[in-house]
Structure 1
Amino acid sequence: MTPTVNVVEALPWIEDADKVAPKDARVLSRLFLDRLPSLEEGTGEYQYVRNTLIEMNLSLVRFAARRFRNRGSGDMEDVVQVGTIGLIKAIDRFDLTREVEFTSFAIPYITGEMKRFFRDTTWAVHVPRRLQELRVDLAKGKESLTTTLGHSPTLKELAAHLGLTEGEVVEGLMAANGYVAGSIDTPGGDTETGESGPTYTDTMGLDDPALELFEDLNALGPLLRQLDERERAIIEMRFGQELTQAEIGSALNVSQMQISRLLNRILAKLRTGLLDA
């Protein structure tokens, strides 16, 4: 640190901000954070103060990144980069009047970006965030109970330990299978003898033509619920009860022509909804 030239009034010029000791960085950061709001964004002075703050506090990013070094996937350089994004957000949003240490304020932003990075990039299959977090809780619970009980916990024991139902535990365990993907060409076999067996591809069946219909019906459900009562009644009579347009018109006391127009309008609305979905 060489505070020799005052390019910004009352602030030192720091040549290698990344090499400032953490203790000194805490003191200097308060000075720079105090000055930053008074500078005009885009000016050279603003860029110097903001960039120096970032470089002085990169040690916070590296410290937080150590928590994720055993995740088993992803380049740690990428983790540091996304953590730096969190640091920048903390610098831009920090307010000295809150009387909170900058390090305490910044760490949640930094780790939050890192967690978001792992959540969005390391799962082979996208699952809801709730289940991603449940996977972590299940892993910790199994490890803790294995140590305490001396054996791998049963489903009931794990559910009781975590305060969950057995169904929720099963859902979490199934979701955990989406964390890592395996190739369908991976051969099976006996792990004890080392003999290889058929690949997953060999055991897969043919496509079920009913699956496409199921997907269409599944997408259609929410759209049907958006129709008003009269529109749902017409759809039910036409496609559920298989009544003719004339019979539907008679039941609703309107002409067959009106039913035809209503049906066309309803079907167009559903078709548009399915295409958007």
Structure 2
Amino acid sequence: MKPDSRWGTGAAGDVAASGADLTRERSAQLFAILSDDSLPEQDRAGAREDLVHLHLPLVEHCARRFRNRGEPFEDLVQVGTIGLIKSIDRFESQRGVEFSTYATPTIIGEIKRYFRDKGWAIRVPRRLQELRMHIVTATSELTQDLGRSPTPRELSERIGCTVEEIIEGMESSNAYSTLSLDATDDGEEQGGSMLDALGIDDPNLEHVEVRESIKPMLDQLDPREKRILVLRFFKNMTQTQIAEEVGISQMHVSRLLTRTLDQMRVAMQDAR
């Protein structure tokens, strides 16, 4: 007699088969308790909890399909368990469907949704997240059919939405992932990061607005007053040096500076 290939060969196959049968029988008993409204709530809650523990291996089996994708296996199991609980609460044993068959798509769907939500750097509406997935699929199909990248109008006709919605979905794709400023451009720890390539603020920028506001006022000054201001504030000369340069007394330089600055101060206040 040939061994049953579904379960392996020899004693190992028999053990696997008997284990699956025991799980199936126990599951049926627990679902019977869970669906019996005449039983105390405590008994039904206990059956629900036992069902979760009984089918955790199924969750772990589904989670293993998504390993090595950047998320801890334990987190994937937790997310998959949420799908398992949803399946338990919605399952109707009288339909004659195997629970594992019913629960697997829900568990996998929950894990896939976790990856989809986790990938968005900026939170966008669920509608746009789903539209982006449709756009990606339609773009791939149309590229093969047309031999080129499809236009937004062609995508809208394929998906069944407006061109404006397609453009909105494309723009939302920019929020799907971001790159850290500390990330290197060659994947090596010793490589330069994006932050190293960014410029710094020019400390002189904050003075640009002031200089541009003063220029018209300087043009209106008397040539001697203008020269004194330039010597004092642009060439950093002392009042004594300015007096020798211009040929007047230091006291006269001081009075001219004070008067000129007062005039410019009033003019700037009026300009505001």
| TM-score, normalising length: structure 1 | 0.50
Question: What letter corresponds to residue 147 of structure 2 in structure 1?
Answer: G
Whether the 8 Å contact between 2:181 and 2:193 is mirrored in structure 1 is no
Equivalent residue of 2:149, what SS?
Answer: coil
Moved more, 122-131 or 102-111: 102-111
Question: What letter corresponds to residue 56 of structure 2 in structure 1?
Answer: L
1:174 aligns with 2:158: no
- CA gap of 1:51–1:197, structure 2 versus 1, over 3 A, is closer
Question: What letter corresponds to residue 162 of structure 1 in structure 2?
Answer: I
Cα distance in structure 2, aligned partners of 1:119 and 1:197: 26
The answer for the alignment partner of 2:157 in structure 1 is 160
Residue in structure 2 matching 1:148, options 140, 145, 150:
145
- CA gap of 1:165–1:53, structure 2 versus 1, over 3 A, is same
- CA gap of 1:197–1:31, structure 2 versus 1, over 3 A, is closer
Within a 5 Å distance, the mapping from 1:221-240 to structure 2 comes to: none
Residue in structure 2 matching 1:58, options 52, 56, 59:
56
The answer for the alignment partner of 2:11 in structure 1 is none
* 1:178-224 Cα shifts (integer Å, max 9, x gaps): 11112356689xxxxxx9999785499x9xxxxxxxxxxxxxxxxxx
Cα distance in structure 1, aligned partners of 2:82 and 2:193: 47
Question: Aligned residues: percent identity?
Answer: 43
Within a 5 Å distance, the mapping from 1:254-265 to structure 2 comes to: none
Whether the 8 Å contact between 2:183 and 2:193 is mirrored in structure 1 is no
* 1:111-144 Cα shifts (integer Å, max 9, x gaps): 4533443344331100000111111112222222
Whether the 8 Å contact between 1:20 and 1:56 is mirrored in structure 2 is no
Cα distance in structure 1, aligned partners of 2:67 and 2:135: 20
Question: What letter corresponds to residue 165 of structure 1 in structure 2?
Answer: T
- CA gap of 1:33–1:178, structure 2 versus 1, over 3 A, is same
- CA gap of 1:175–1:96, structure 2 versus 1, over 3 A, is same
Once the two structures are TM-superposed, the CA of residue 85 in structure 1 deviates from its matched residue by: 2.1
Structure possessing the higher radius of gyration over alpha carbons: 2
1:126 aligns with 2:94: no
Cα distance in structure 1, aligned partners of 2:143 and 2:129: 22
The answer for the alignment partner of 2:134 in structure 1 is 137
Within a 5 Å distance, the mapping from 1:96-111 to structure 2 comes to: 96-111=93-108
The answer for the alignment partner of 1:80 in structure 2 is 77
Cα distance in structure 2, aligned partners of 1:110 and 1:133: 19
User: Larger RCO: Structure 1 or Structure 2 (Cα < 8 Å, ≥ 6 residues apart)?
Assistant: 1
| TM-score, normalising length: structure 2 | 0.50
- CA gap of 1:60–1:149, structure 2 versus 1, over 3 A, is farther
Structure 1: give runs of 5+ residues left out of the alignment.
Answer: 1-17, 189-194, 207-277
Cα distance in structure 1, aligned partners of 2:172 and 2:197: 20
Question: What letter corresponds to residue 28 of structure 1 in structure 2?
Answer: R
Question: What letter corresponds to residue 91 of structure 1 in structure 2?
Answer: I
Whether the 8 Å contact between 1:145 and 1:152 is mirrored in structure 2 is yes
Whether the 8 Å contact between 1:65 and 1:79 is mirrored in structure 2 is yes
